[in-house]
């Protein structure tokens, strides 16, 4: 990739540059169907008066200097993704724009994973920084669905397990929303629990592969279990993730937080806006955030609708519910 610069008539005049893409197929993918990706780029950078159009073997960018520089960074990231064999979606364009506008382009990294993990938003970048710092013994990652709060926590745990920093990865969550009444479900204990753990299994497979996941489970290095199984234990030299924490009761949250043993870290994830506890039971997550936010050694990071990396419609749905006082 190279950039040809055209001199501006004056410091106030719009900047005009061509971002060259020598691979014709990549150029087509970067532009998107009917140039949809370029249109999205223009929309996201409208404040800079950005215009982007395919021209010959590249993309002509016109607008304020800062906007053109951001657009160049976005296109370079999209080209990098294509070089690794990945495809480009509208969400990738959105994520690249967010990352390009992040003041600091440095962020923590996770080692030894099957796939590289990079932040798609400013909020994710700050969250990854917290997760990648081994000195942060307890982190609360809260926010709406689709912000990556659980997936990134699992990535941090898998990284520490594979690099030998921790001996075990333990993921726990309330098995059902109303008090973990497993006895009412058919089948063995494993069959009862598995449906509630599917998101965790999916993340582990994506980050370390099926074979390695099964091998480490057999050795007891990976444990995925309902919250009730944590009672009475001391979790030493482990990376512990408490998922769907908004559905813990206050006693359950106190119980699991006090399981933290020597040389261990704990990440608690959840969405305070999606509490499924029956009746008027208070959420253990909400209660913990109220009383622990000022405790030394406890880190709280809040992700928002701006950090949603699912379909673009998801963040708008979240905002609509929030506008009506729900979530």
| Number of residues written out for the chain | 327
The model's pLDDT over 5-60, given as tens digits with 9 standing for 90+, comes to: 454 444 557 888 899 988 889 999 999 999 999 999 999 899 999 999 998 889 99
Contact status, residue 290 vs residue 140, Cβ threshold 8 Å: no
Nearest CA to 308 out of 268, 283, 271 is that of: 271
The model's pLDDT over 138-157, given as tens digits with 9 standing for 90+, comes to: 999 999 888 999 999 999 99
The pLDDT score that the predictor gives to residue 186 is 53
pLDDT for residue 81 is more than 90: no
Dist CA 173 CA 213 (whole Å):
19
Mean pLDDT of 121-137: 90
Radius of gyration of the chain (CA): 23
pTM, rounded to two decimals:
0.68
pLDDT for residue 181 is more than 90: no
pLDDT for residue 234 is more than 70: yes
The model's pLDDT over 186-197, given as tens digits with 9 standing for 90+, comes to: 555 555 556 777
The full set of domains in the chain, from first to last, is: 13-99 (3.30.1370.10), 120-321 (3.40.50.300)
The DSSP-derived string for 293-320 is TTSTTEEEEE--GGG--S-HHHHHHHHH
Mean pLDDT of 94-103: 75
The pLDDT score that the predictor gives to residue 190 is 54
pLDDT band at 308 (very low <50, low <70, confident <90, very high): confident
Task: Report the interhelical angle of 24-31 vs 65-83 (nearest 10°).
Answer: 120
- Maximum separation of any 2 CA atoms in the chain, in Å: 76
């Amino acid at each position: 990739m190279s950039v040809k610069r055209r001199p501006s008539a004056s410091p106030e005049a719009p900047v005009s540059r061509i971002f060259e893409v020598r691979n014709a197929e990549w150029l087509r993918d970067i532009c998107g169907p009917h140039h949809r990706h370029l249109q999205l780029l223009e929309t996201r950078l409208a404040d800079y008066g950005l215009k982007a159009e395919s021209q010959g073997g590249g993309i002509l960018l016109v607008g304020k200097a800062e906007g053109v520089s951001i657009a160049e960074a976005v296109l370079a990231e999209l080209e990098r993704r294509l070089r690794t064999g990945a495809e480009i979606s509208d969400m990738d364009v959105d994520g690249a724009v967010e990352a390009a506008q992040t003041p600091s382009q440095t962020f923590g990294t996770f080692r030894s994973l099957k796939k590289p993990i990079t932040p798609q938003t400013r909020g994710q970048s700050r969250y990854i920084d917290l997760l990648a710092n081994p000195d942060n013994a307890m982190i609360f990652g809260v926010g709406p669905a689709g912000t990556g709060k659980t997936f990134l926590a699992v990535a941090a745990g898998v990284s520490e397990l594979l690099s030998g920093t921790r001996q075990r990865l333990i993921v726990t969550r309330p098995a059902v929303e109303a008090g973990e009444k497993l006895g009412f479900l058919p089948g063995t204990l494993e069959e009862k629990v598995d449906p509630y753990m599917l998101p965790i299994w999916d993340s582990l497979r994506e980050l370390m592969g099926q074979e390695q996941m099964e091998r480490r489970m057999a050795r007891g290095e990976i444990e995925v279990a309902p919250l009730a199984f944590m009672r009475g234990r001391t979790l030493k030299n482990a990376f512990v993730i408490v998922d769907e924490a908004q559905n813990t009761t206050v006693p359950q949250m106190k119980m699991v937080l006090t399981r933290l043993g020597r040389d261990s870290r704990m990440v608690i994830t959840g969405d305070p806006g999606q509490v499924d506890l029956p009746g008027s039971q208070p959420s253990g997550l909400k209660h913990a955030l109220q009383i622990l936010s000022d405790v030394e050694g406890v880190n709280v990071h809040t992700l928002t609708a701006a950090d949603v990396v699912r379909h673009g419609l998801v963040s708008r749905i979240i905002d609509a519910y929030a506008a009506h006082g729900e979530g």
